[in-house]
């Protein structure tokens, strides 16, 4: 099967982007003067093909995702002036399918005394009358004093919600004297129980991470509750808290205000100290307005994560059109600031994931939204492919720099699993991965994928399993190791890893990776453990990128079934015609 000429497709796309950009320049009234770098200057090499990105400049947190009148809205922190953090506004895009996006005018930008120094992250709430309200953090002075504001659509008949109004009775929440006013931000979606609305605001009290709770009966006057919903000593500033119900019996998502006997709650926080997130599953006591994480879970930086790699400032929303709870997360760049300035862009949003409670109740499961599959084009399969120790077999005939690959591995027995060194019990999965990468030969594993690999393996990002025998049970490690990802210099190339709580009785492990030029998002064992890496190959770019399956363990592993699809490019943030 002949491959399409990938490079010429890209060249055409770049040309289109240039043409489209001229459209931006013409229609952008407010920020015209900031459009210093034209899109034809933006470096294409490591730009993603199907991830959410604006045509240029810096992005960070996803904000206020919502579904309204048939359209998905995504707002995000954006610097209209350049590829580094600063001058933050809420950029705004809309989509019918969460995959193809059109961009609109910025929704929220500094314009009032209560947000003149910045419009930081926040969330959207759909009121009982169906109309959306946004809460966001406004910066009021040079000292970074933070208040919480609200904004409403200027015309709620407009499904695009193009224009947002910030009423003069803002801010709705000031930091009182007991609150650290420079660490007080990122309001959540509101939920309604027993006649009162609640929101959380992330904060810290010295070293204690805190989710302050505010209540309101009219959605206007907000009063701080005597106790925070939850707080944990030693965890530092809690950014971007997210609090939502999950069903104990169904994969369907629940609206944020749902409460009942068949419902657990999830609290996620983004730890500014570590720049990672963790979550717990627990019980929400609506009378006391307190949240109690399950005792079996770690309530701190070593807790469960949505993603054990590059994933931060995430936020979920409930999609009533499909009854899903959908998770958005941001991945920053792993290169140097100077690289970003040269590239002209920095930051991507990862592919939205559906989240639900595992039947065990002990963790969440995640899977890329089904709509992504619309981008799948040419398909290649492997089956019953034996991988003896030291083997790597190429998956040929796909655009390996831009691919969705889903594979099931099987093995005859668990006997050859390496012993789990009891010393490691105190270590992070990451340290085990760092010691036992793909290059240290093992027993059962390492086996998995070599993504964004050069033909001769000067560069590759292995995503692999390694199975250990601990005293009581087997421990499965999933690694995404960027250490050999690039010959480039000045890059951050960490190994990332998480343990996978999976039943091995059928002697199978599955892995799905979404590979997209400079990002590899991997879902182990049906979304039980997820890891994202950002990498910047120098050789393995465009049609010089290859994909392999490999095994470096003494136990023979079989690729039962592998499907790889070249991925098409969606419409990505083309400005919408007014």
Ligand X SMILES: *[C@@H]1O[C@H](CO)[C@@H](O)[C@H](O)[C@H]1NC(C)=O
Q: What single string gives the DSSP state of each residue in 16-71?
A: HHHHHHHHHHHH--TTGGG--S-GGGS--TT--SSSB--SSEEEEEEEEEEEETTE
| Residue list 252-311, contact with ligand X (CB under 6 A) | 275
Which one, 374 or 439, has the nearer CB to ligand X? 439
Q: How far is CA 100 from CA 277, 513, 573, 575, in A?
A: 28, 20, 8, 12
Footprint on residues 540-559 left by ligand X (CB under 6 A) = 550, 552
Among 13, 292, 391, 492, binds ligand X (CB under 6 A): 492
Q: Should residue 438 be labelled a site residue for ligand X when binding is judged by CB under 6 A?
A: yes
Q: Based on the residue annotation, tell me whether 255 is a catalytic residue of this protein.
A: no
Among 132, 329, 462, 553, binds ligand X (CB under 6 A): 462
- CB distance 484 to 567 below 8 Å: no
**Contact between 533 and ligand X per CB under 6 A:** no
Site residues for ligand X, 115-174, by CB under 6 A, read 155, 157-158
List, as own/partner pairs, every contact residues 471-478 make where C-beta atoms lie below 8 angstroms and the sequence separation is at least 24, other chains included.
471/420, 471/422, 474/414, 474/417, 474/504, 475/420, 475/499, 476/500, 476/502, 476/504, 476/509, 476/525, 477/429, 477/432, 477/433, 477/436, 477/445, 478/308, 478/511, 478/522, 478/524, 478/525, 478/529, 478/531
Strands 57-68, 345-346: pairing kind: parallel
**Cα(271)–Cα(18) distance, rounded to whole angstroms?**
38
- For 47, the token pair is 């730009």
Residue 442 CB, nearest approach to ligand X (Å): 9
Q: Does 312 participate in binding ligand X (rule CB under 6 A)?
A: yes
Which residue among 40, 61, 358, 543 is the active-site one?
Answer: 61
The nearest distance, CB 160 to ligand X, in angstroms, is 7
Q: What does the per-residue mask of binding to ligand X show for 205-234, with x meaning CB under 6 A? A: -x----------------------------
Query: To 5 degrees, how large is the angle CA 87–CA 90–CA 95?
Result: 145
**Cβ 47 vs Cβ 518: under 8 Å:** yes
Give the binding-site size for ligand X (rule: CB under 6 A). Answer: 21
Minimum distance from CB of 464 to ligand X (Å)?
A: 8
Rounded least distance, CB 422 to ligand X, Å: 25
Cα gap 478→482, rounded to integer Å? 13
Site string (164-203) toward ligand X, x via CB under 6 A: ----------------x-xx--------------------
Which residues in the 57-96 window bind ligand X by CB under 6 A?
Answer: none
Q: Say how far apart CA 201 and CA 95 lie, in whole Å.
A: 28
Nearer Cβ to ligand X (335/371): 335
Kindly state the smallest distance separating residue 466's Cβ from ligand X, in Å. 12
**Residues at the interface with ligand X (CB under 6 A):** 155, 157-158, 180, 182-183, 206, 237, 275, 312, 332, 334, 390, 438-439, 441, 450, 462, 492, 550, 552
Q: Active-site positions?
A: 61
């Amino acid at each position: 099967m002949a491959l399409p000429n990938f490079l010429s497709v890209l060249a055409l796309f770049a040309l289109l982007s240039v043409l489209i950009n001229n459209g931006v320049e013409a229609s952008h009234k407010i920020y015209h003067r900031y459009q210093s770098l034209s899109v034809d200057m933006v470096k294409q090499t490591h730009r993603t093909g199907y991830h959410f990105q604006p045509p240029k400049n810096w992005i960070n947190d996803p904000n206020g995702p919502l579904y309204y009148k048939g359209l998905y809205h995504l707002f995000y922190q954006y610097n209209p002036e350049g590829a580094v953090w600063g001058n933050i506004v809420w950029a705004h895009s809309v989509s019918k399918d969460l995959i193809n996006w059109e961009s609109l005018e910025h929704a929220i930008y500094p314009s009032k005394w209560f947000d003149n120094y910045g419009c930081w992250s926040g969330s959207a709430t759909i009121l009982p009358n169906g109309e959306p309200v946004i809460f966001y953090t406004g910066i009021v002075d040079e000292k970074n004093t933070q208040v919480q504001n609200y904004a409403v659509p200027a015309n709620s008949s407009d499904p695009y919600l193009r224009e947002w109004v910030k009423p003069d009775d803002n801010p709705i929440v000031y930091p009182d004297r007991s609150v650290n006013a420079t660490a007080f931000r990122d309001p959540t979606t509101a939920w309604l129980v027993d006649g009162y609305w609640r929101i959380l605001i992330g904060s810290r009290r010295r070293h204690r991470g805190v989710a302050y709770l505010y209540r309101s009966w009219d959605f206007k006057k907000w009063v701080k509750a005597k106790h925070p919903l939850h707080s944990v000593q030693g965890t530092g500033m809690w950014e971007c808290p997210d609090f939502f119900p999950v069903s104990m019996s169904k994969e369907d998502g629940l609206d944020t205000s749902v409460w009942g006997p068949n419902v657990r709650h999830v609290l996620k926080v983004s730890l500014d100290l570590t720049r990672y997130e963790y979550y717990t599953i627990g019980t929400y006591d609506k009378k006391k307005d307190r949240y109690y994480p399950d005792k079996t879970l770690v309530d701190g930086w070593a807790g469960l994560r949505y993603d054990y790699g590059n994933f931060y400032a995430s936020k979920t929303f409930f999609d009533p059109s499909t009854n899903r709870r959908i998770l958005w997360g941001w991945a920053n760049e792993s290169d140097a600031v100077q690289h970003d300035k040269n590239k002209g862009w920095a930051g991507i949003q990862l592919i939205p994931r559906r989240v639900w409670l595992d039947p065990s109740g002990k963790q969440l499961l995640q899977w890329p939204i089904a709509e992504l599959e619309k981008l799948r084009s040419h398909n290649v399969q492997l089956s019953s492919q034996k991988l003896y120790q030291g083997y790597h077999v190429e998956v040929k005939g796909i655009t390996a720099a831009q691919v969705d690959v889903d594979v099931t591995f099987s093995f005859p027995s668990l006997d050859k699993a390496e012993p789990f060194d009891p010393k490691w019990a105190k270590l992070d999965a990451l340290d085990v991965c760092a010691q036992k990468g793909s290059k240290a030969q093992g027993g059962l594993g390492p086996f998995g994928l070599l993504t964004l690999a050069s033909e001769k393996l000067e560069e590759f990002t292995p995503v692999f399993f390694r199975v250990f025998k601990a005293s009581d049970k087997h421990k499965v490690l999933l690694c995404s190791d960027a250490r050999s990802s690039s010959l480039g210099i000045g890059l951050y190339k960490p190994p990332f890893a998480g343990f996978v709580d999976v039943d091995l009785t059928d002697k199978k492990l599955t892995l799905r990776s979404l590979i997209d030029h400079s990002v590899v998002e991997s879902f182990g064992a049906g979304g039980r453990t997820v890891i994202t890496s950002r990498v910047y190959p120098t050789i393995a770019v465009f049609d010089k990128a290859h994909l392999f399956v490999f095994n470096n363990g003494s136990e023979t592993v079989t690729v039962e079934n592998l499907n790889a699809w070249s991925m098409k490019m969606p419409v990505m943030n083309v400005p919408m015609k007014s």
